[in-house]
Amino acid sequence: MTYTSEALQQLVEEFSQLPGVGKKSAQRMALYILKQPREDVLRMAKALVNVKDRIKYCTSCSNITEVDPCPICSSAKRDRATICVVEEPNDVIALEKTNEFRGLYHVLGGALSPLDGIGPEELKVNELLTRMTNGVTEVILAMNPNIEGEATTIYLSRLLKPLGVRVTRIARGLPMGGDLEFADEATLSRALEGRIAL
């Protein structure tokens, strides 16, 4: 593609690096930026640089934060005996929205996947183990419901159980508000597998 401006071409190329953005959308976004007032564009540029400059990883839970330790780890209201282990920072955001969980988090930074070169050393596994000394009684494993998440759950439970903590995993199954008859077979059978006694 040829543009009459090198600056525009550069911006299109930058935008098309973003996940889910193709050449055409990138072009639309770039032309939109061009039409915006200068101060709006500056504000946006500043926001982009800020996330790189200001955000760091919490030395305790590895979640993204601007202050170390992060607001969750330093909060006096949180229950320090329970740690919920998740794959990515967005999982923390999702769980926090529920307003149900009062414990701490631990962000692994992914799931085990030898095909992608991700082993235990690439994840924050050792950091999790060192946290087990401070009166932690329960670890909740909240991995994604896929084969990599399952392998990670098995791997971590083998490491954690000998340390004498209670290890649980989140239930998987039917979404709320959905009728049983509309659930797909795979979801239903996983829900059956994870049934609980009353």
Partner 1 sequence: MNLGLIRLRHFRNHTDTTIRFAPGTNVLLGQNGEGKTNIVEAVSYLGLTKSFYAANDAVACQLGAESFEIEGIILSDGGIEHHMRVAYSREQGEKVCTVNHARPESLSSVVGRFPVVILSPENSAITFGGPADRRRFMDMVLSQLSRLYLDDILEYRRAIRQRNRILGEIKVTGARHTSELEPWTLNIIKYGSRIIYRRLSFVRDFKNPLSDSYEKITGAEEVPGVSLTTVDGLDSEPSVEKIELRMSEKIDEVCGDEFRRGVSLVGPHRDDLALTLNGKNLQRYASQGQHKTMLIALKMAEFALMREQRNEVPIFILDDVFSELDEQRSRNLIGVIRDCGQTISTTTEESRFHGAIEWNSQNKKFSVSNGVCTET
If the CB atoms of residues 33 and 174 are measured against partner 1, the closer one turns out to be 174
Report residue 56 as tokens.
């760091």
The Cα 92–Cα 70 span in angstroms is 12
Report residue 156 as tokens.
């971590």
112 binds partner 1 (CB under 8 A): yes
175 binds partner 1 (CB under 8 A): no
The minimum distance between CB 117 and partner 1, in angstroms, equals 9
85 binds partner 1 (CB under 8 A): no
Contact 85, 128 (CB under 8 A): yes
The minimum distance between CB 66 and partner 1, in angstroms, equals 35
154 binds partner 1 (CB under 8 A): yes
The Cα 152–Cα 158 span in angstroms is 10
How many angstroms separate the Cα of 168 from the Cα of each of 48, 65, 79, 158, 195? Answer: 38, 27, 16, 12, 14
148 binds partner 1 (CB under 8 A): yes
Q: Which stretch binds partner 1 (CB under 8 A): 6-14, 51-59, 163-171, 183-191?
A: 183-191
Among 115, 176, 180, 196, binds partner 1 (CB under 8 A): 115
Residue whose C-alpha is closest to residue 188's, from 180, 177, 196: 180
174 binds partner 1 (CB under 8 A): no
The Cα 59–Cα 47 span in angstroms is 24
101 binds partner 1 (CB under 8 A): no
Provide the binding-site residues for partner 1, judged by CB under 8 A.
112-115, 119-120, 146-148, 150-155, 158, 184-186, 189
